Amino acid sequence: MKLRERTEYLWDKYGFIPQKKLGQNFLIDPGIVNRIIEALKLSKKDIVLEIGAGTGVLTERLIPL
């Protein structure tokens, strides 16, 4: 399932309606997720605190690092 489809599925499943006025933005482009991961240049010693994890797209990619 593509990220956009997955995000919309979760919104529908839980009755969530994103509100731009609250600054709610969601990662739906895998290319952007990849660029974020690459830019972080994380090592095994790094500790990451993700605030506002949304649907967990970035979290899933961070776990194996």
- Name all contacts of 2-5 with Cβ < 8 Å and 24+ positions apart: 2/28, 3/27, 3/28, 3/29, 3/30, 3/33, 3/57, 4/28
- pLDDT for the residue 9: 94
Query: What pLDDT score does 1 carry?
Result: 79
Q: Residue ranges of the domains in the chain?
A: 3-62
Cα atoms in the Cβ-side hemisphere of radius 13 Å centred on 21 = 1
pLDDT at position 62: 92
Asked if residue 54 has pLDDT above 90, the reply is no
| 26-45 residue pLDDT tens | 999 999 999 999 999 999 89
pLDDT tens by residue, 3-33: 899 999 999 999 999 998 998 889 999 999 9
